[in-house]
Amino acid sequence: MARELETLWRNRAGFLGDAPGDNDVALSTRIRLARNLTRFPFPIAADAGQLEEVRQQVRAAVAAASALGEAHFSLALEQLTPEEQELLFERRLVSRELLTRETGAGLELAADETLAIMVNEEDHLRLQALRPGFRLEEAYRELSALDDQLGSILEFAFHPRLGFLTCCPTNVGTGLRASVMLHLPGLVLSQQIKQVVAAIDKLNLAVRGAFGEGTDNRGNLFQISNQSTLGESEQQILERLSSVIATLIAKEIESREELLRLRKYELLDRVGRAFGLLRYSYRLTREEALTALSAVRLGVDLGMFRQLDLRLVNELFLAIQPAHLTRCAGVAVEPPERDVIRAGLIRERLKKITGA
Amino acid sequence: MARELETLWRNRAGFLGDAPGDNDVALSTRIRLARNLTRFPFPIAADAGQLEEVRQQVRAAVAAASALGEAHFSLALEQLTPEEQELLFERRLVSRELLTRETGAGLELAADETLAIMVNEEDHLRLQALRPGFRLEEAYRELSALDDQLGSILEFAFHPRLGFLTCCPTNVGTGLRASVMLHLPGLVLSQQIKQVVAAIDKLNLAVRGAFGEGTDNRGNLFQISNQSTLGESEQQILERLSSVIATLIAKEIESREELLRLRKYELLDRVGRAFGLLRYSYRLTREEALTALSAVRLGVDLGMFRQLDLRLVNELFLAIQPAHLTRCAGVAVEPPERDVIRAGLIRERLKKITGA
């Protein structure tokens, strides 16, 4: 399996996009649809034989459909090494929940990582589209095409009044969850972020830190997503989310401009120090690296770096994660050495960039 | 006066030397001799007329002697601007005590800053020799020649049993205080410095931080000097100090080697981060700059920088002081802006140095 997946690890990860011309604030857009097959119990209640049967049916349907492309991956997770599983997790292609299922867990994956299906996670199918930047419509169009193709082959559990049936009641209806990952250092630095998070909560949307759980916001990356799947059409959900995201982006840009006006040297200093840390340190924890990368990303957005582009910064956000570092080092590395390898990797990638 | 002194500010300062081939640990050597004229009360008890008379006599004697060179400066401190006074202080050519004297304070100074005489400080004359590196003998030879020349012209207060008479009893006898400035980051990092300071105390030698008072050791710079001036000859004082300094240098080098062996990445990381901070920050306090310069100096000593030499690091130790910064900026700058200017100056000086 390792050799087959090598092409995947060499990919840019879909979740950290940098489509040219895109807004700097929005990193990526992700939408998922929860679907289940009739005649099978939900994964939580299914036995090994039923899970395997579901996985086979999904695999056959994907092979027959064209949406994932010919060169797609069709993975049985129990055949992967723990390292390969972690790499998929760090690339946001599988969830912790999928990884903990002992048998029957699968992943159908387009070679460019923009479309994926988790099989036998909480639901039989979790269809996902990932796009760089702020592209809800485009992502939904693509995901919807995949959904239509699979729905014509497989029999999805659907209730005329409730909509799509899902394992957890919070997903019943559209089964749709859309999220946009935003980089909000301006709102964090100007201490407006708490207020913003509270406002988003009231709109029945969710905010999560991009790394780790809960309100953790290392890297100043935030995922904004819809909470409810019932009572609104797919289009209504996306439009409501879209309008909030657009407002947030405008607020972030406004706060950056104000910071540049009122606290210019503080801002330059923060970015400069972060770059100096990444460029010259010999030991870096993941937290330090994320925080510094966030500041440098802001610097790139503000035009402080001539030689540095978002592409490289985004690659580093991924490359410094533990499993990616281990792959890069060629041997399993544990925390104290990992920090040394992390710093070495970043120094190497930044060594040609001299000026701020 | 400003124009005449311009040539002085452009000098390298004598107290931060970098004579090639010298030991990295010892930055500079300084010796001073306290001398007083017969027939005049000590400055503390002298009136303005007497102070002026002393200054004139010293000036005339220096002009007649050859030791300070033809192009020496002969300064009446009350004719200098406060900025010029501060510059002299930061270059370690005058003391705070001399600057607070309202009339009669003078400075006779060799153009290269290696020899100087403070006039009407605590004593009528404080002869000083400054040399880069660890050069007690050479400094004493030079200072002694100046002392002999002046002593043949002026009548120094001398008691056949006690030796040279001085205002403060702690200087009676030789009137000699010799000090060597050492850079001891290895002993600080390996937490041996407290022990070392205690041992030096027991030997009746004094340890002071190079910047500020007392035990403050910003920049990991320490001045080691003799405490007593009575009961030992000049040669005995210098030999005793010399042997302790040699031991300290050996201990420092040993501790660096041990750190490199046992805590290599911690050491590299400390140096790298310090360099990154100096190279890319936009606001730097004096404390941060001193600490970072100390770490970078250690890195230069350890051979981490191909493009960076001690000369530049030593220049920066001086250039980041408030009065030197103000001179550099061309206008008086106060703390918040001063930190911005300090960081800008350091960035500018280091901008061509890319690799660690």
Interval A74-126: pLDDT, tens: 999 999 999 999 999 998 899 999 999 999 999 999 988 999 999 999 999 99
Q: Is B279–A282 a contact, with Cβ atoms under 8 angstroms apart? A: no
Task: Indicate if the pLDDT at residue B72 is higher than 80.
Answer: yes
Interval B86-130: pLDDT, tens: 999 998 899 999 999 999 999 999 988 999 999 999 999 999 999
- pLDDT given for residue B12 in this prediction: 63
Instruction: Measure CB to CB from residue A281 to each of B273, B281, B351 and give the nearest one.
Output: B273
Instruction: Measure CB to CB from residue A277 to each of B276, B278, B282 and give the nearest one.
Output: B276
Q: Tell me how close the Cα of A192 comes to any Cα of chain B, in angstroms.
A: 24
Look-up: residue for tokens 């406004």? A254
- Chain A's closest residue to B264, CA to CA, is A282
Which one-letter DSSP state was computed for residue A17?
-
CB A123 within 8 Å of CB A108: no
- Chain B's closest residue to A340, CA to CA, is B265
Interval A1-56: pLDDT, tens: 556 777 777 766 665 655 555 568 998 899 999 999 999 999 999 999 999 999 99
CB A121 within 8 Å of CB A95: yes
Q: Tell me how close the Cα of A279 comes to any Cα of chain B, in angstroms.
A: 7
Query: H-helix or E-strand containing B95?
Result: none
DSSP three-state, residue B156: strand
Instruction: Measure CB to CB from residue A340 to each of B265, B283, B354 and give the nearest one.
Output: B265
Interval A159-187: pLDDT, tens: 999 999 999 998 999 999 999 999 999 99
The pLDDT confidence band at residue A355, using thresholds 50, 70 and 90, is low
CA distance A334 to A343: 14
3-class SS letters over B234-259: HHHHHHHHHHHHHHHHHHHHHHHHHH
The pLDDT confidence band at residue A214, using thresholds 50, 70 and 90, is very low
CB B327 within 8 Å of CB B24: no
Q: A348 at the B interface (CB within 8 A)?
A: no
Residues of chain B with Cβ-Cβ distance to A272 below 8 Å are 280-282
CB A161 within 8 Å of CB A266: no
Contacts with A, B 246-265, CB within 8 Å: 265
Which one-letter DSSP state was computed for residue B166?
-
Q: A341 at the B interface (CB within 8 A)?
A: no
Task: Indicate if the pLDDT at residue A280 is higher than 90.
Answer: yes
Average pLDDT, chain A: 89
- pLDDT given for residue A31 in this prediction: 96
pLDDT top residue among B26 and B328: B26
Q: B273 at the A interface (CB within 8 A)?
A: yes
Instruction: Measure CB to CB from residue B281 to each of A273, A278, A279 and give the nearest one.
Output: A273
Q: A114 at the B interface (CB within 8 A)?
A: no
pLDDT top residue among A214 and A241: A241
Residues of chain A with Cβ-Cβ distance to B353 below 8 Å are none
- pLDDT given for residue A351 in this prediction: 85
Other CB atoms within a 10 A radius of the CB of residue A81 amount to 11
Q: Tell me how close the Cα of B276 comes to any Cα of chain A, in angstroms.
A: 4
CB B120 within 8 Å of CB B100: no
Best mutation target among A264, A265, A354 (most B Cβ atoms within 10 Å) is: A265
Determine whether A198 is exposed, middle or buried from the number of CB atoms within 10 Å of its CB (0-12, 13-18, 19+). Answer: exposed
Interval B93-105: pLDDT, tens: 999 999 999 999 9
- pLDDT given for residue A223 in this prediction: 92
pTM equals 0.84
Amino acid identity of residue B117, one-letter, is: I
Tokens of A112: 């460019």
Task: Indicate if the pLDDT at residue B184 is higher than 50.
Answer: yes
CB B23 within 8 Å of CB B101: no
Query: H-helix or E-strand containing B207?
Result: strand B205-209
* Residue A291 φ/ψ region, left for φ over 0, alpha for ψ in the -120 to 50 degree band, beta for the rest: alpha
Q: Is A273–B276 a contact, with Cβ atoms under 8 angstroms apart? A: yes
DSSP three-state, residue B73: strand
Q: Tell me the average pLDDT across B207-220.
A: 66
For a pLDDT cut of 90, what percent of chain A falls above it? 65
ipTM attached to this prediction: 0.81
Q: Give Cβ neighbours of residue B226 (< 8 Å, ≥ 6 apart).
A: B176, B177, B178, B179, B204, B205, B206, B237, B240, B241
Amino acid identity of residue B87, one-letter, is: L
Tokens of B233: 């000859």
